[in-house]
Amino acid sequence: MPIKSKEKKKTTKQVTKPVKKTVSKTVVKKVAPKKKVVKKVVKKVAPKKKVVKKVVKKVAPKKKVVKKIALKKTIKQEQVIWATGKRKTSIARVIFFSKGSGEIYVNKQPYKKYFNILELKNKVVSPIELLKQADNFQFKIKVQGGGQTGQADAILLGISRALIKFNPDWRKELKAAGFLKRDARKKERKKPGLKRARRAPQWKKR
């Protein structure tokens, strides 16, 4: 009886040991390589960050262009404009400054001192007062020839032309008021045998 029991124990040991070892090793070897594949995918995705940086560098220089355009606009706001106006035999050369406090100089004098008649003073300022810009600009005017009435009309035309060059939207208002029309009327020359251009001497029968 003791001989049979020993033989049974030997047979059981031989069956159980090899089965456990083989199964555990094969499963671990198949699962482990999956981690290496994940690392390779991450390396391929990473270089996309460098491409984004290059795009940002190309977009950045646009800020410099915007600054240059802004500087040009400020220069245009401070304008100096030249214009001429004529009436009869008088010629007015007007220099317009976009920044000022409503000062108007005629032959290096304030216009209120240069013109004696109130109507002529109002005529000089009329285009600026019509646009309600009396306190915003400055004018320097040189006038030659004719009398004060002709010079005042010439200054009016010169100022209105300078204002249109500065802002073309004011043309409708100034044209409707008649400030842009060049008055070509002049005194007609004297004819021989007459006292004036058409005034004849009194006729006598005897």
Residue 3 has pLDDT above 80, yes or no: no
Residue 162: its pLDDT value, please? Answer: 96
Residues with Cβ within 8 Å of residue 125, at least 6 apart in sequence: 104, 111, 134
Q: Does 28 have pLDDT greater than 80?
A: no
Q: pLDDT for 151-191, tens place per residue? A: 999 999 999 999 999 999 999 999 999 999 999 999 999 99
Q: How confident is the prediction for the chain on average, in pLDDT?
A: 78
Higher pLDDT, 125 or 73: 125
In whole angstroms, what is the distance from residue 169 CA to residue 156 CA?
18
Least confident of 27-31, 81-85, 124-128, 134-138: 27-31
pLDDT band at 196 (very low <50, low <70, confident <90, very high): very high
- Spatial separation of the C-alpha atoms in residues 195 and 169, rounded to whole Å: 49
Nearest to 90 by CA among 46, 131, 120, 117: 120
Give the separation between CA 175 and CA 131, rounded to whole angstroms.
12
The enclosing H or E element of 110 equals: strand 109-110
The three-state secondary structure class of 27 is helix
Give DSSP secondary structure letters for 39-83: HHHHHHHTTHHHHHHHHHHHHTTHHHHHHHHHHHHHHHHS-EEEE
Please give the backbone phi and psi of residue 185, each rounded to the nearest 5 degrees, phi first. -70, 135
